[in-house]
Structure 1
Amino acid sequence: MASSRSMSRTISTSLRLFSTSAKPSHHNYHQKTHKFLEPNSYVGSWDAPKDPKEAEAKLAKLRRDYAKQVKEVRKEYIREMELMRLEKQRKDEARREAIRAANEERKKLKAEAAKVRAQERKIAEEEFRQTLLEERTQKLEYWRKTIKAHEEKKKEKKELLRRQSSIWVDESQLEQKILDAVTDTTPL
């Protein structure tokens, strides 16, 4: 029986060592780094008096002193927790401020990029308009030239026709001209 107990103790100890050495937990870290308070003067200070009233008075005094100490420890704990809360709040505020600043910077860069794209788009549209205007001007010039050439051809035809028509003879004079041509053999 004793050997089975010692064996189970050895196994449980090795398992405990294995479980604690495999992954250090917060609990184990706290146990290793914990600082204990100084020994309390109350522990082991009780000497039993012979008179029960005196013992009761001593015990009441010890309870009051202990209550005062507990109250002080609680105040210190509350103070520490408040400091931790304030520190956490300050860190959170700093983190939020950093995120806000990064967001503003990102928005600023995005707006600048949008302005640059808008300017580039405006320049491209202006170039496109200029190209269209140049093309329209060229087409208009070409159209004017073709119309002018067409009108000049018309004028030339009219002029040619007018020159040719000056050689023509009116109907009223046609018989006379025919008679003259027959009698006069001179070419027209």
Structure 2
Amino acid sequence: MSTFFRSSLRSFATTAKSAHHNNHRDNHKFLPPTSFLGSWEAPKDPKEAEAKLAQLRRDYAKQVKELRKEYIEEMELMRLEKQRKDEARREALRVATEERKRLKAQEAEIRAQQRNIEQQQFRETLLKERAEKLEYWRRKVKMHEEKKAEKNELLRRQSSMWVDEAEIEKQILDTVIATTHF
């Protein structure tokens, strides 16, 4: 079964190739005949034949020289075109590189500005917290001083009621003397 398949596949491929070849042969257009071919008539004199052959060689050399000039000019034009395209490509790459560098620099500048803003906000937060802590500490110190002052005031009031020992003895003595006189 596989042999049959292969042979039919081969015959199909062969017919496809030959059909293409035949189609190409049918559509081919030949160049018109040139006046140069078949124009040689053998001269009877060998010197004349030699002169004609030399003339043909010179004409051929001129044609080859012209073709070479045209080829060199075409190659030079192609080289110049390639050089122009290469320069344009290099210029485009340079411009693209500069643009990328400029964008990178802008992004770096934006990141630096954001970092500065964040650092400034952090400093402000830190200063605010320090100010709050300082205010809290001052209130504590003030409350402590007020309590101490209240305690001292209370102690002073209570101590104003107290009398010194020497004073007490004098008052007792005065009281005893005063009570004994009656």
TM-score range, shorter chain: 0.7 to 0.9
Alpha carbons of 1:103 and 1:136: their partners in 2 closer, same or farther (altered >3 Å)? same
Alignment deviations for residues 111-139 of structure 1 (CA, whole Å, 9 cap, x no partner): 22222222122112211211111111111
Separation in 1, partners of 2:104, 2:174: 100
Aligned match for 2:167, one of 164, 170, 173: 173
Alpha carbons of 1:115 and 1:41: their partners in 2 closer, same or farther (altered >3 Å)? same
Separation in 2, partners of 1:132, 1:184: 74
Aligned match for 2:152, one of 138, 148, 158: 158
Separation in 1, partners of 2:96, 2:178: 114
Separation in 1, partners of 2:15, 2:176: 152
Partner residue in 1 for 2:41: 47
Partner residue in 2 for 1:17: 17
Residue 141 of structure 2 is aligned to residue 144 of structure 1 = no
Q: Output the aligned Cα RMSD.
A: 3.4
Partner residue in 1 for 2:4: none
What percentage of residue pairs aligned between the two structures are identical?
Answer: 66
Structure of greater relative contact order (alpha carbons < 8 Å, 6+ residues apart)? 1
Query: 1:79 Cα deviation (Å)?
Result: 0.7
Separation in 1, partners of 2:157, 2:60: 142
Partner residue in 2 for 1:8: none
Partner residue in 1 for 2:93: 99
Secondary structure in 1 matching 2:43: coil
Alpha carbons of 1:184 and 1:61: their partners in 2 closer, same or farther (altered >3 Å)? farther
- Structure 2: runs of 5 or more not aligned: 1-10
Alpha carbons of 1:181 and 1:51: their partners in 2 closer, same or farther (altered >3 Å)? farther
TM-score by length of 1: 0.72
Alpha carbons of 1:182 and 1:46: their partners in 2 closer, same or farther (altered >3 Å)? farther
TM-score by length of 2: 0.74
Separation in 2, partners of 1:39, 1:59: 22
Residue 105 of structure 2 is aligned to residue 111 of structure 1 = yes
Query: 1:169 Cα deviation (Å)?
Result: 2.2
Query: 1:51 Cα deviation (Å)?
Result: 1.5
Secondary structure in 2 matching 1:130: helix
Separation in 2, partners of 1:178, 1:83: 139
Secondary structure in 1 matching 2:149: helix
Code of the residue aligned with 1:44 in structure 2: it is G
Alignment deviations for residues 60-85 of structure 1 (CA, whole Å, 9 cap, x no partner): 11101101100100110111111111
Query: 1:16 Cα deviation (Å)?
Result: 8.2
Residue 80 of structure 2 is aligned to residue 86 of structure 1 = yes
Separation in 1, partners of 2:74, 2:126: 77
- Range that drifts further, 138-147 or 104-113: 104-113
Partner residue in 1 for 2:5: none
